[in-house]
Chain A
Amino acid sequence: MTKGVSAGCQENDPHSAYRVSRYLSLYAALWRNSVIRELGFKVNFLMWIVVEGLWFALQLTFISVLYLHTEHIGSWTKWQVVALVGASHLIQQLFTAIFLTNLAALSEHIRTGKLDFMLLLPVNTRFLVSFRQVDLGGFVNAAGALCVIGYALHRLNHVPGLTQVAGFLLFVLVGVLIHSSLMLMLAATSFWTVRAQGIVWGYYNLFNIARLPDEAFRGLFKAVFTFVLPMLLVSNVPVKMLVDKLSSPLEMLLLLALAALICAASELLWRIALRRYTSASS
């Protein structure tokens, strides 16, 4: 392998410990940048936290109103669903904090040819495209979601064990990973169509499903959103883990397997797309 090629495929770099620390320090620098940027618009920063919090409250209102008129949806009780909405919000906000702005900006980078500049930098391009900016408000809202989950557990009179909590957190991270991989794939379609602005909006429709109890669904809808786009697993499985609702370990294994598959697919699509990139003509 020649030197030029190995610089191109950094995965083959033998000094992996060095590489990890280099990327960590790069990410720290990107964090610093984001903090400085946010500090420039303090009021706006706080207002966005209010907006997200309000929409979260709105979903919780919806659940409360539903449970004014019913005792359970399938076998899900009110506070279990509240925990589910909380977990869905937690995953969504972590995804927003780390990935959303960056991936949503991809089509703009392609359209304007800004991606040229990123490709020239001696950094893995997917890393740069995914992590350039951090949306700090997302972490604040994620903390709010954690509080709601905690309160729901309190109302359920349920104290989860250490493995349950660890499993929950692991699955939350898996959920963030699934969302980011799917979103990257959606955003990468702009290598072909150039204009793909509806993407963020379209993806929000999927978040809408993730916070609903899986037992409400049947038939084709359930099959598609379990096995193809595992929206009905990403928040349901971690919450079931947390509140002792898992009937069999199969769901967990399915979620992990699908996560691995989606990650691999997104990496593959990303590489094919990059190969196709011809830069914006000027």
Chain B
Amino acid sequence: MGKYWHVLNLGLQNTMVYRLNFLFRATLGLIPLMAIISVWRAIYADKPGGQVASYELAQMISYYLVITIVDALTAVTEDDWQIAADIKDGNISQFLLKPLDYLAYRFCLFSAGRLVYAAFAVVPTAAFIWLLRDHFVLPPDAASAVGFVVSLALTAMLQFLFSFTLALLAFWVLEVATFIFIAFAFEYVAGGHLFPLDLLPPAVAGALDYTPFPYMLFFPVSVWLGRVSGEAIWLGVLVQLLWVAAAYAVARGVWRRGIRKYSAVGG
């Protein structure tokens, strides 16, 4: 176990190099966020009832703000490219020789990256949320807050395992970028990045619920907003846990097959 602490530590130190880059990124990311909030404001301005699909304006704005928080803490940014490059360039050979598990090693680096990113992104993001404080709702009760934290952790694992498995495609194909972008596009809509999934026609939203995508973003945000409450929180967390277990099994399986195929090019 101790060795993975070292990996985490190394990851923290390595990603610290990019701190200015992170600050820059997080700040620029606020521009489209502001834009989408403006569009929603314009839509609500013409709504006499003040509601869109049972979202009040404050809830809708908070939806996008909470997405930004969840994203900062769980979204995979560079890890998938690095994993694919490690395979393509033959760098994983060294991991096969060491008593170090590549998946665990990568997870430590991912965690370190997220921690450092969040530590710097918090500055512009918090400032922005403070500006919109009149429209920012907090979790309604303690159960929602705890449920949010738990499902946030599971979301991070799901995000990581999804990207890890995709990046392993590099064992079979030379160029994985297109696959990653296609999968990311699906996750972007079906995860609820663009709009709350309950804005979709009920049949579509219901069908999506049988996929892991809502549990990669939409679920923790709904818990925060109190749109999922009581027992439904823990039922959702259980489903999320099952998806994490499934994703882990798939990641392991693909890794095992990939290693068999691996020919250590340039290693």
Query: Does A66 sit within 8 A of B, measured CB to CB?
Result: yes
Q: Which residues of A contact B203 (CB under 8 A)?
A: none
Q: Which residues of A contact B38 (CB under 8 A)?
A: 212, 216-218, 221
**Secondary structure type dominating chain A contacts:** helix
Contact between chains at A202 and B52 (CB < 8 Å): no
Query: Does A208 sit within 8 A of B, measured CB to CB?
Result: yes
* Residues 178-232 (chain A) with a chain B CB within 8 angstroms: 197-198, 201-202, 205-206, 208-209, 212-213, 215-218, 221
Q: How many residues of A contact B (CB 8 A)?
A: 35
Instruction: Please report the C-alpha to C-alpha distance between residue A209 and residue B39 in the assembled complex, in whole angstroms.
Output: 10
Interface-centre pick from A41, A44, A51, A215 (highest chain B CB count, 10 A): A51
Contact between chains at B199 and A50 (CB < 8 Å): no
Q: How many residues of B contact A (CB 8 A)?
A: 31
Of B25-33, B65-73, B101-109, B218-226, the one with at least 4 CB within 8 A of chain A: B25-33
Contact between chains at A51 and B178 (CB < 8 Å): yes
* Residues 162-206 (chain B) with a chain A CB within 8 angstroms: 175, 178-179, 181-182, 185, 188-189, 194-195, 199-201
Contact between chains at A205 and B182 (CB < 8 Å): no
Chain A, residue nearest B27 (CB): A202
Contact between chains at A209 and B32 (CB < 8 Å): yes
Query: Does A48 sit within 8 A of B, measured CB to CB?
Result: yes
Query: Does B35 sit within 8 A of A, measured CB to CB?
Result: yes
Q: Which residues of A contact B194 (CB under 8 A)?
A: 58, 61-62, 65
Chain B, residue nearest A217 (CB): B38
Instruction: Please report the C-alpha to C-alpha distance between residue A68 and residue B204 in the assembled complex, in whole angstroms.
Output: 13
Contact between chains at B42 and A216 (CB < 8 Å): yes
Question: B11-46 toward A: CB 8 Å interface, digit per residue (1/0)?
Answer: 000000000010011001101101100110111001
Q: A51-B178, A58-B194, A70-B47 are in contact. Are A205 and B185 (CB under 8 A)?
A: no
Q: A62-B195, A209-B31 are in contact. Are A73 and B24 (CB under 8 A)?
A: no
Query: Does A3 sit within 8 A of B, measured CB to CB?
Result: no
Query: Does A23 sit within 8 A of B, measured CB to CB?
Result: no
Contact between chains at A70 and B178 (CB < 8 Å): no
Interface-centre pick from A41, A202, A205, A217 (highest chain B CB count, 10 A): A205
Chain A, residue nearest B204 (CB): A65
Query: Does A47 sit within 8 A of B, measured CB to CB?
Result: yes
Contact between chains at B31 and A206 (CB < 8 Å): yes
B56 to A: closest C-beta gap in Å = 13
Query: Does B97 sit within 8 A of A, measured CB to CB?
Result: no
Query: Does A54 sit within 8 A of B, measured CB to CB?
Result: yes
Query: Does B53 sit within 8 A of A, measured CB to CB?
Result: yes
Q: Which residues of A contact B39 (CB under 8 A)?
A: 66, 73, 212-213, 216
Contact between chains at B182 and A66 (CB < 8 Å): no
Contact between chains at B46 and A48 (CB < 8 Å): no
Q: Which 5 A-B pairs have the closest CB atoms?
A: A47-B178, A216-B42, A208-B32, A216-B39, A51-B181
